């Protein structure tokens, strides 16, 4: 099962008022294990970056001026997320911006049914408790010390850890996809293959001799005496 943990940074709160996406970050999970594949893109919002947004994201007009506009990267973003579930904190916010940007390209919006909202999960699981990403990091002991500014890729990586804790820790689907770094549907079929040659024994001759002497001292009825090497 493939999922995409996703975050966006924007110039403001409402695409209907002219606000735009300035950054997208996404992390691929396969059977609840990070594969190492990511998507990260800064975007020229084609408008001035408000001072309050700059204070939050640290992205200014000069930095964004030479970045591509959304219509130049929108298809690459769609190719990365494919048709898989999107894991987002406060999903309604990011989804409305992504859908608006896609519609301005003349493409179909993203249906909300694709989104898994970790904010909603946290509120159901811990009613009445703070459910911000920072609060959940504190609850689960996740290191977010690098989060001095909001950055889409860093937030996605942190959210991936939070999401795994919210759904029951890091046990589900531990199939070593991360080690294989495979991508696409075939990754779920990966299994470890037998070693071509057995690992050599790390027992030294002196240790083997001492062990044999110890077993001999236990007597003929000892369990160890019935075990062959």
Q: How confident is the model at residue 13 (pLDDT cuts 50, 70, 90)?
A: very high
Pick the CATH number of 2-189 from 3.30.420.10, 1.10.287.130, 1.10.3720.10, 3.30.540.10: 3.30.420.10
> For residues 220 and 226, what is the distance between their CA atoms, to the nearest angstrom?
8
Tell me: the pLDDT tens digits for 58-68?
Answer: 889 999 999 99
pLDDT at 106: 96
Query: Quick check: 149 pLDDT over 70?
Result: no
Given 40, 89, 150, 211, which residue is catalytic?
Answer: 150
* Average confidence (pLDDT) over 7-23: 96
* Average confidence (pLDDT) over 26-50: 95
Query: Quick check: 179 pLDDT over 50?
Result: no
The closest of 9, 149, 164 to 93, measured between CA atoms, is: 9
Q: Are 122 and 139 in contact (CB under 8 A)?
A: no
Query: Which residues, at least 6 apart from 208, have a Cβ–Cβ distance to it below 8 Å?
Result: none
Q: Strand ranges (DSSP E) for the chain?
A: 2-10, 21-30, 33-42, 85-88, 115-117
The closest of 5, 61, 60, 65 to 29, measured between CA atoms, is: 5
**Tokens standing for residue 2:** 């493939």
* Average confidence (pLDDT) over 4-18: 96
Considering only CA atoms, give the Rg of the chain. 25
Mean pLDDT of the chain: 86
Tell me: the pLDDT tens digits for 182-207?
Answer: 444 454 555 555 656 666 677 788 88
pLDDT at 148: 58
Query: Quick check: 53 pLDDT over 70?
Result: yes
Q: Is 150 a catalytic residue?
A: yes
Query: Quick check: 94 pLDDT over 90?
Result: yes
Point out which residues pair with 8 in neighbouring strands: 24
Query: Quick check: 176 pLDDT over 90?
Result: no
Pairing of strands 85-88, 33-42: unpaired
Choice between 92 and 191, residue whose per-residue pLDDT is larger: 92
């Amino acid at each position: 099962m493939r999922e995409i943990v996703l975050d966006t940074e924007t110039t403001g709160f409402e695409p209907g008022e002219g606000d735009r996406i300035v950054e997208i970050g996404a992390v691929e999970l396969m059977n609840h294990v990070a594969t190492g594949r990511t998507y990260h893109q800064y975007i020229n919002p084609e408008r001035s970056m408000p001072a309050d947004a700059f204070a939050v994201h640290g992205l200014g007009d000069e930095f964004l001026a030479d970045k591509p506009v959304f219509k130049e990267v929108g298809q690459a973003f769609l190719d990365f997320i494919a048709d898989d579930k999107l894991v987002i904190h406060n999903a309604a916010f990011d989804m409305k911006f992504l859908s608006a940007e896609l519609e301005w390209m003349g493409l179909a919006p993203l249906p909300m049914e694709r989104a898994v909202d970790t904010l909603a999960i946290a509120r159901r699981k811990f009613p009445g408790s703070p459910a911000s990403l920072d609060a959940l990091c504190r609850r689960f002991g996740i290191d977010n010390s690098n989060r001095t500014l909001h950055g889409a890729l860093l937030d996605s990586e942190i959210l991936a850890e939070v999401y795994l804790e919210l759904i029951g820790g890091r046990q589900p689907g531990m199939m070593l996809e991360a080690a294989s770094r495979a991508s696409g549907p075939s990754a779920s079929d990966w299994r470890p293959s037998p070693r071509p040659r057995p690992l050599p024994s790390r027992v030294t001759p002196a240790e083997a001799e001492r062990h044999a002497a110890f077993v001999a001292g236990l007597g003929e009825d000892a369990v160890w005496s019935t075990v062959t090497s």
